[in-house]
Amino acid sequence: MQDKDINTARETQAGRRAFVKGAAVVAGAAALGAPAIVLGQNRRLVTRDPGGPFTKAFSQAFYEPFKKATGITVVGVASESEPSGMVKAMVESRNYRWDMAHLSNSTHMSLAKLGHLEPIAGPKGLGPNVSKIPANMRGEFILGVDVYATVIAYRTDTVKKPPQSWKDFFDTKGFPGLRSLRKNPYDTIEEALLADGVPPSQLYPLDLDRAFRKLSQIKKEVGVWWENGAQTSQLLKTGEVDMIPAWNGRAQVAIDDGAPVKLVWNQGIWTFEGFTILKGGPNVALCREFLEFCAQPQQQAIFTETLTYGPTAPDAFKYIKPERAKLLPNNPEYFASLTQANAEYWGKHKDAITDRYNSWLLS
């Protein structure tokens, strides 16, 4: 009887210790915006991300802190750019290699139209962190986490008369230098229309005939048609081209590596990227909790230490050093001069415009 009482007391004491430890973890997780319901579960989420510096930055800002707070492992897996076909195949076959996918806003629009994404809001609606993200940086099926802009980047050692607008960029006589353009109509069509005098507020719907006429004027002057962001960094670093429309973060890589490069923020075209949840996946509720965690301003500020892409949480700038903030596209100093790409328009017309653009390239 005495041994039984001793064992019972020990079990009670151990149970209390476990409860206290668990309560402490729950409290810590709650402070970070993580849900108590997932604590202690040996669970794993897989998300597609762009790889390279993104995986490093998101690991520091999101994956590792989320695991520390909840015990849930999040694995970032790189894939091809704009992996709409891969997401479509997974959802339709119900063979999920990913639970989530970090996508561009336009790609997310295309997949949402097909019914391949889950709403980011659960049965009780959006969480308090997600609901603070501006409406133009999230959607029913996407939580925007990073903002980037396509801007003019040029070499200061070879360009003696720097372009200050897309009109200047398309003026090869007035602003000499070897050009590069993207081998993709997204942004490129807008650049041509802005160069031809279309006001930013009147860009959409895109006047494709006018855009292709303008592009044809510069086509022979294009030395390289770039296909991915890493290529733009390399072109700037090697000096293979003098000026190029580039994603600001990729151009910054060249600057950080010592290349004599400057950015022109005027008339930049901005959009956002973010996390989406694959339709019908096995961990939808848990994915929503991860998104709520990612919407915290303190967490988003962390990825800007590695990536020069802006946060979507407005309060994140409170946690970003002023010198670093100057490199981000949604810094108030630049943001007013930028134009947001219309992802809804591109989501509806992307395939048709891409087919026409590819045919034009071959003509």
pLDDT band for position 91 (cuts 50, 70, 90) = very high
Does the pLDDT value for residue 54 go beyond 60? yes
User: What pLDDT was estimated at residue 53?
Assistant: 86
Residue 243: partners with Cβ closer than 8 Å, 6 or more residues away: 152, 153, 154, 155, 159, 163, 169, 175, 177, 178, 179, 180
Please report, in angstroms and rounded to a whole number, the separation of the first and last CA atoms in the chain: 94
Q: What would the mean pLDDT of 192-207 be, rounded to a whole number?
A: 98
Mean pLDDT of the chain: 90
| Domains of the chain, CATH where assigned | 10-147+272-325 (3.40.190.10), 148-270+345-362 (3.40.190.10)
Does the pLDDT value for residue 350 go beyond 80? yes
Which residue did the predictor score with more confidence, 51 or 96?
Answer: 96
User: What pLDDT was estimated at residue 52?
Assistant: 83
User: What pLDDT was estimated at residue 30?
Assistant: 45
The pLDDT tens digits for 302-330 are: 999 999 999 999 999 999 999 999 999 99
| CB count in 10 Å sphere of residue 137 | 24
The pLDDT tens digits for 154-173 are: 999 999 999 999 999 999 99
User: What pLDDT was estimated at residue 118?
Assistant: 98
Q: What would the mean pLDDT of 319-343 be, rounded to a whole number?
A: 94
Token pair, residue 26, equals: 């729950």
User: What pLDDT was estimated at residue 334?
Assistant: 85
- Please list the residues that pair with 310 across neighbouring strands: 147
The per-residue b/e assignment along 317-334, b for 16 or more CB within 10 angstroms, e otherwise, is beebeeeebebbbbbeeb
DSSP string, 137-204: GEETTEEEEEEEEEEEEEETTT-SS---SHHHHH-TTTS-S-EEEESSSTTHHHHHHHHTT--GGG--
Q: What would the mean pLDDT of 71-97 be, rounded to a whole number?
A: 94
Residue 61 CA, chain-centre distance (Å), reads: 14
User: What pLDDT was estimated at residue 47?
Assistant: 98
User: What pLDDT was estimated at residue 196?
Assistant: 98
| CB count in 10 Å sphere of residue 64 | 14
Does the pLDDT value for residue 10 go beyond 50? no
User: What pLDDT was estimated at residue 12?
Assistant: 40
pTM: 0.83
Does the pLDDT value for residue 8 go beyond 90? no
pLDDT band for position 81 (cuts 50, 70, 90) = confident
The pLDDT tens digits for 257-274 are: 999 999 999 999 999 999
Does the pLDDT value for residue 129 go beyond 80? yes
C-alpha–C-alpha distance, residues 191 and 203, integer Å: 10
The pLDDT tens digits for 213-261 are: 999 999 999 999 999 888 999 999 999 999 999 999 999 999 999 999 9
User: What pLDDT was estimated at residue 280?
Assistant: 97
User: What pLDDT was estimated at residue 332?
Assistant: 86
- Please list the residues that pair with 263 across neighbouring strands: 153
